Structure 1
Amino acid sequence: MICENRVVIVTGAGRGLGRSHVEALARSGAKLVVNDLGVNRDGQGQGTPVAEEVAAAVRAQGGEAVASMHDVSDWQDAEALVRQAVDTYGRLDAVVNNAGILRDRMIVNTTEAEWDDVIRVHLRGTFAMLRFAGAYWREQAKAGSPLEGSVVNTTSPSGLFGKPGQANYGAAKAGIATLTMIAAEELRPYGVTVNAVAPVAHTRMTADLVSDPDAARQLAPEHVSPVVVWLSSLRSRHVTGRVFEVSGKRFGIAEPWRHGPGVVPQDVMTPAEAGQIADTLLPAAMVPERMGGNL
């Protein structure tokens, strides 16, 4: 019960990872706002009340949960979602940003809408929730209320290491990883921690990538949710600005960009000099890791 009585918003909570997070948080004693538009994995289609179905299932097990169909990528809806949590339970303690869509395409075939919509839901949606939850926590801190807030963002190995065919998704997820580090510093003075998970899990988002039943079980969302619960709890107050890689195959901490080998030019370099210096530095630089073997 490490999240007992903590009020937590979970976005994209109707299926897959989000639903698993809700169920694990409910077992840990959290009071939940279950947010999901109920659309297809590409963000299209008629919305269905999956959020209410999940919330009802939590209540049937004796937990506390309300449903939300707010669009987190919409400025007003994100603000209203934060307000719903506060109006329902009297406060907000944690936000789990999990909402997302998938529209895979090679760069040369990607349409404007496919780029904009994926960036909008993942990156803008995560930022909008940070914006309004952060503003609420800042107001509470200025009013003298003690704060122990938590944000758990969802990035991806695709954003950390790159995956062909996912330029839109990977760019959004890379942005979320950096946004996590920035938000951790900005919200630290208000008593808020901000971390991220980079999960590998078998859900409808990855159903076409995992066909082996044993591999699917090993990559079940239930392997990821305990980390999300811990990051949403008071047990993780000493951790902020981190990205955790988690699946049934591995649990670790992703290391961010670091300064590699370099020199201090004595004057403005010519293009030829820049090339010569780069050629001397490249053998000493780490080769970027790729996604191969994660699934």
Structure 2
Amino acid sequence: MPESRFNVSLTFDPDGCSIWAGTFQTQNPSMLSRGEYGPAVGVPRVLDLMRRKDITASFFIPGHTVCAFPDRMKEIRDAGHEIGHHGVFHENPADFDRDGEREILERGITILDTVLGVRPIGYRSPAWDLSPNSIGLLKDAGFLYDTSCMAEDFTPYYLRVGDKWSPTTMLEFGETSDFVEMPVTWLLDDFIVFEHIWGSQEGLRRPRDIEELWREEFDYGYANCPGGSMTLTMHPQVIGRGSRIMMLERLLDYMAGHEGVTFEPLGVVAERWKKANELEAWKAANPTHTGVNAITNL
């Protein structure tokens, strides 16, 4: 692999039916079928595109999807893609106390190990929701990185454990840990711009509009953040639609036309970044993230 001037990590969340049954708690078979489209149609299209472009991606899979569609999820594994933890029922970790959150985390690990033979090193929370306990639990569980937070755009960073905050008190920064964050943003997520949810989310944007938006984000990162990494977050049930998968292919061709661009999965990038950034040296160079100079008594 040549040295990367700028990396793009393609990440996919095969939520399947879990997002509709879990997050949206639907009892509507039609809405549930939108999730089924992902494993049935979207995943094969995504895997075909990744194969043709020779790209290894990261797939964050809820336990519910693994159990409902085990053969399709094994195709992802057998194609050599990274598999990460994405909850069990696409649940919000903040809905659980500490013990309950640990239990659902461990259940997801067990499902991935039992069905796919995978012990994930990366975690993405469903809908990027976290509780005040999440980061500490993930670190204790042995994960290398999370990809749910947004304090950077093209640069990984170390997460803190034990932050304290309230509506009426100053932010108290916790202890900076050696747990890596691979940052995300709603700006680079396909679900909110494409998926229509009656009464709450219009979606259904033109693919070429989103292609232009994502291309401009790439242009900025490539020009201004050498050595950086951009994360696209997509869902097979969304990006797998014909006009959208064509959009993604055009975008990949555009990115690949730039010298020094690589397409590596998040786990590879996180591991390399951690080796290159000794914790204490990084803390000294990043007081904004560590909060070492924060004032809490005024």
TM range (shorter): 0.3 to 0.5
TM-score normalised by the chain length of structure 2: 0.39
TM-score normalised by the chain length of structure 1: 0.39
Q: Which has the larger radius of gyration?
A: 1
Q: Greater RCO between the two (CA within 8 Å, min separation 6)?
A: 2
